[in-house]
Amino acid sequence: MTHRTVYARGTRIHLVEQGEGPMVLLVHGFPESWYSWRRQLPVLAGAGFRAVAIDVRGYGRSAKPLEIEAYGMLHHVEDNLGVVEALGAGTAVVVGHDWGSPIAANSALLHPDVFTAVALLSVAYSPPGGRRPTEAFAAMGGNEEFYINYFQEPGRAEAEAELDVRGWLTGFYVGGSGDAVPAADGGTMATVRKGGMLRDRFVIPERLPPWLTEEDVDFYTAEFERTGFRGPLNRYRNVDRDWEDLQPWRGQPITVPSLFIGGEKDGPTIWGAGAISRFGETMPGLRGSHILPGCGHWLQQERAEEVSRLLTEWLASL
């Protein structure tokens, strides 16, 4: 694996690449890094592709603008375009997980000439709609606060996470996985009690699940202790701005060849069942939709071999 830093249309983006051939751009989610694709990079390279995993802006060694609006969706799409250009590739297949999924989806929606195919992990594509996102999330939270709305106030979630970065990350990863243990009050990580914190619902096991090692947690902890959580959380603080910016594409489908992979025990897969059922209209180029039994949110880590196989088979079909 080769580490590089490129200037993507003026933004510093750190990336790790491996292999030669058609470019596959891998975009991670929250709270992760290029490292979440560590098991896919060599497999994709071995299958004849140039696999490129970036640190999304705000993470790792990539740029960390101060302004909240600098983390709007259109800026992330520009970063992806800039990476493709900086690496001398005219086109790329884009693969995204968690927040990387809508970043990948919108890259393919806005620039299908550059991003000629798209794979979405965990978060299903839903075209820009008519309801302001924070209003929809408030309704989803009911008597509690939906986690995305909990993240809206600058400094609030940062203060919680940075009290104990390692413990918070461990609780978040395990709590979102297929190995999650229910909280004592029966609630989930999706919502926060009024006046409480997200970590109140974390249940940290004595032993990590087999897909997550102490060395993995060491890596993530070192990254976030160095960079903090402000940039990553600012992505959530743009959901209403994204909704406004993307209104010109309201209701538009993604037409390039596509793939979806979700986890049976993953909240976004469950909440996104309606979006998944509409793939025939919203992603007419879909070439596969897979729900992995017993799997949670961190697909490419929890089911590394299966996700790598599905990706390489799909890539070979393009």
Domain coordinates in residue numbering, the chain = 2-128+252-317, 133-233
Would you say 298 and 211 are in contact if contact means Cβ atoms under 8 Å apart?
yes
Average pLDDT rounded to a whole number, residues 238-245: 97
Mark whether 297 is an active-site residue.
yes
Among candidates 95, 82, 110, 21, which has minimal Cα distance to 53?
95
Per-residue pLDDT tens digits for 28-56? 999 999 999 999 999 999 999 999 999 99
249 conformational bin, left if phi > 0, alpha if psi -120 to 50, beta if neither: alpha
Return the pLDDT at 181: 87
User: In sequence order, what DSSP letters do the residues of 216-279 get, joined into one string?
Assistant: HHHHHHHHHHHH-SHHHHHTGGGHHHHHHHTGGGTTPPP-S-EEEEEETT-HHHHHTHHHHHTH
Distance CA 93, CA 101 (A): 13
In angstroms, the Cα distances linking 178 to 27, 101, 263, 287 are: 22, 19, 8, 25
- Closest by Cα among 31, 32, 44, 45 to 307: 44
**Domain spanning 2-128+252-317: CATH superfamily:** Alpha/Beta hydrolase fold, catalytic domain (3.40.50.1820)
271: left (phi over 0), alpha (psi -120 to 50) or beta: alpha
Residue among 14, 76, 97, 297 flagged as catalytic: 297
Q: Which of these is catalytic: 98, 179, 242, 266?
A: 98
Indicate if the pLDDT at residue 4 is higher than 90. yes
Residue 50: its pLDDT value, please?
98
Phi-psi region of 58 (alpha: psi -120 to 50; beta: other; left: phi over 0): left
Enumerate residues 6+ apart whose C-beta is below 8 A from 186: none
Q: Output the pLDDT for position 205.
A: 87
State mean pLDDT over 217-246: 97
Contact at 8 Å (CB) between 259 and 315?
Answer: no
pLDDT of residue 9: 96
CA dihedral 193, 100, 58, 244 (to 10 degrees): -80
Confidence of residue 129 (pLDDT cuts 50, 70, 90): confident
Give the strand pairing for 92-97 and 145-146: unpaired
Q: What is the pTM of this model?
A: 0.97
Would residue 75 show up in a list of annotated catalytic residues for this protein?
no
pLDDT at 168: 97
